[in-house]
Amino acid sequence: MRLVALTLLVAAVAICAEAPKADLTLQDSAGKKVRLRDLRGKPAVLNFWATWCGPCKAEMPMLVELEKQYAARGVQFIGASMDGSKTKAQIPSFLAEHHVAFPVWYGGSADDLDRLHLGGAVPATAFLDAEGHIVARILGQARLEELKERLDWLTGDRSGPAPEPLVKHLQ
């Protein structure tokens, strides 16, 4: 009987244990330090991309349109550029070409992707709840329906089943 009680206690603690909150520190376009934890209080979409990435270029128009649609629901969109010193100068023209109005952070790295369990390639997208927990990830170029499904769940009452927490479109 004690073994059963102990097993149930351990299981309850494991279920109730809060997942760690995602954190990331990068820079804005002016070089000012920006932190993911400062966005807590609202759900967020964090998309890692680069100017040299073909799938990122294809995905960006969807993110721009979804940001317009979901801003009224309080969703914050953040772009995290993976461009290094050789391509960083191309970021402003890329943003203008794609009409990106949401904040873009500079200095993303493979270590950041790894720390957030986003694989090792771009594009990669994380969906964060208002408390800062990553509730879903898409590795590789996202499909519109995948983005909407996760955004609707994130901004809804979450009474239905959660969408698949990890979608991989990478080989």
Residue 146 counted as domain residue = yes
Confidence band, pLDDT 50/70/90 cuts, at residue 19: low
Q: Could you tell me if 124 and 118 are in contact, meaning their C-beta atoms sit under 8 angstroms apart?
A: yes
Is 88 part of a structural domain of the chain?
A: yes
- The torsion region of residue 85 among left (phi > 0), alpha (psi -120 to 50) and beta comes to alpha
Residue 34's pLDDT is: 97
94 vs 160: CA distance, rounded Å = 38
Residue 6 lies in a domain: no
| Amino acid letter, 41 | G
Higher-confidence residue of 123 and 6: namely 123
Secondary structure of 50-98 as H, E, C letters = CCCCHHHHHHHHHHHHHHHHHHHHCCEEEEEECCCCCCHHHHHHHHHHC
The verdict on residue 154 lying in a domain is yes
pTM, 2 dp:
0.87
Task: Classify residue 3: in a domain, yes or no.
Answer: no
**Does residue 160 belong to any structural domain of this protein?**
yes
pLDDT value at 61 more than 80? yes
142-163 pLDDT, tens digit per residue, is 999 999 999 999 999 888 889 9
In a domain, 11, yes or no: no
CB 136 within 8 A of CB 152: no
Number of structural domains found in the chain: 1
Residue 159: the pLDDT is 81
Residue 102 structural domain: 21-168
Residue 29 sits in a domain whose CATH number is: 3.40.30.10
Q: What percent of the chain has pLDDT over 70?
A: 88
Treating both helix axes as pointing N-terminal to C-terminal, what angle do 144-155 and 54-70 enclose, rounded to 10 degrees?
30
Average pLDDT over the chain reads 90
